[in-house]
């Protein structure tokens, strides 16, 4: 037990140091620095929400349209940013592997955690700001909101864990990922409710694990009026095998990785 606690303390310090290094490398120390990790998705979500309001009016599915867009768009941007950052993460930080305390998994985990924390901060800030103007409701069930984020985050981490080592095996993946992440849009649940779709379409999108997390988040915010559709087990049945595959691929890549 003491050795386990010591290992845990070392690993948390390593991850903390790597996060500070990553933030400094990406955003520097000028202007607002690391806060850009929160500001970028926040600005995108607000602009898209205002555009939808101008085109469709103040309500969508019986809820405020800006709140509806924000609750879907920020998790979607979180997924796209995490996957994009996972590409070539070993190449960019390979020199750090010289230190024996740093593992390949740390390099993926650090980038994922930065995106997760930044986008959750953006979600909180925009919810508070819109709530002050009566454009965002008080969450119906905070536990379900956090559970939805957990499912969405687990799925995203599983995908990044597979993408990161694959990008080291093939240069083609680096070129393809920016395009293929757009395919996530119809399968993310960001801009629709499953209950509003035709039964056949609803059955198809429910095969997408992040849709379940999105429905949980929306239920946590808007309550039963949106008639959420989700399954507790299915996202785990997809994500956990992906994580296992990702760990095996990381182990394989580590053997091939040349540390300079």
Report CA 176 to chain centroid distance, whole Å. 19
% of the chain with per-residue pLDDT over 90: 33
- Residue 13 within any structural domain of the chain: no
Residue 30: its H or E element: none
- Please report, in angstroms and rounded to a whole number, the separation of the first and last CA atoms in the chain: 35
- Residue 6 within any structural domain of the chain: no
Distance set, CA 116 to CA 112, 172, 190 (Å): 6, 26, 17
Return the closest-CA partner of residue 117 out of 34, 217, 30: 34
Between CA 103 and CA 11 the distance in angstroms is 9
Number of Cβ within 10 Å of residue 72's Cβ equals: 23
pLDDT over 90 (residue 43): no
Asked if 50 and 57 count as a contact pair (C-beta separation under 8 A), the reply is no
1's tokens: 């037990």
- Residue 5 within any structural domain of the chain: no
- Residue 12 within any structural domain of the chain: no
* Average pLDDT over the chain, rounded to an integer: 84
What does the pLDDT look like over 158-209, one tens digit per residue?
999 998 888 877 777 777 887 778 888 888 888 899 999 999 999 999 999 9
pTM (2 decimals)?
0.89
Domain region containing 32: 18-256
Residue with tokens 């490398």: 25
Between CA 11 and CA 2 the distance in angstroms is 14
- Residue 188 within any structural domain of the chain: yes
- Residue 3 within any structural domain of the chain: no
139's tokens: 């969450």
- Residue 81 within any structural domain of the chain: yes
Q: Residue 189: what pLDDT? A: 87
Between CA 195 and CA 202 the distance in angstroms is 7
Q: Residue 79: what pLDDT? A: 92
Beta carbons within 8 Å of 255's beta carbon, 6+ residues apart: none
Total domain count, the chain: 1
Asked if 64 and 135 count as a contact pair (C-beta separation under 8 A), the reply is yes
- Residue 4 within any structural domain of the chain: no
144 pLDDT band, cuts 50/70/90, is: very high
What does the pLDDT look like over 54-73, one tens digit per residue?
888 888 788 888 899 999 99
Q: Residue 94: what pLDDT? A: 62
For 18-22, 89-93, 148-152, 167-171, which range has the lowest pLDDT when averaged over its residues?
Answer: 89-93
Distance set, CA 172 to CA 47, 90, 167, 246, 252 (Å): 33, 16, 8, 18, 19
Distance set, CA 14 to CA 97, 100, 106 (Å): 12, 11, 8
Residues in the chain, how many?
260
Between CA 163 and CA 177 the distance in angstroms is 9
């Amino acid at each position: 037990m003491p050795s386990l606690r010591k290992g845990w303390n070392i690993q948390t310090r390593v991850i903390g140091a790597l996060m500070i290094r990553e933030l400094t490398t990406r955003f520097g120390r000028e202007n607002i620095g690391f806060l850009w990790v929160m500001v970028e998705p926040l600005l995108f979500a607000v602009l898209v929400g205002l555009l939808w309001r101008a085109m469709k009016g103040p309500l969508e599915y019986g809820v405020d349209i800006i709140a509806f867009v924000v609750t879907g768009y920020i998790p979607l941007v979180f997924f796209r940013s995490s996957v994009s950052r996972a590409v070539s993460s070993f190449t960019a930080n390979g020199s750090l592997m010289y230190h024996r305390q740093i593992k390949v998994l740390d390099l993926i985990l650090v980038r994922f955690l930065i995106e997760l924390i930044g986008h959750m901060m953006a979600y909180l800030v925009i919810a508070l700001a819109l709530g002050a103007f009566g454009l965002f409701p008080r969450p119906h069930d905070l536990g379900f909101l956090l559970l939805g984020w957990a499912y969405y985050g687990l799925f995203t981490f599983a995908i990044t864990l597979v993408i990161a080592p694959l990008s080291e095996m093939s240069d083609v993946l680096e070129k393809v990922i920016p395009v293929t992440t757009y395919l996530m849009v119809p399968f993310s649940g960001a801009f629709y409710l499953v209950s509003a779709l035709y039964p056949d379409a609803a059955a198809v999108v429910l095969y997408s694990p992040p849709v379940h997390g999105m429905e949980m988040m929306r239920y946590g915010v808007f309550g039963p009026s949106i008639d959420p559709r989700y399954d507790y087990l299915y996202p785990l049945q997809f994500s956990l095998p992906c994580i296992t595959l990702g760990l095996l691929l990381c182990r394989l890549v580590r053997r091939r990785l040349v540390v300079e």
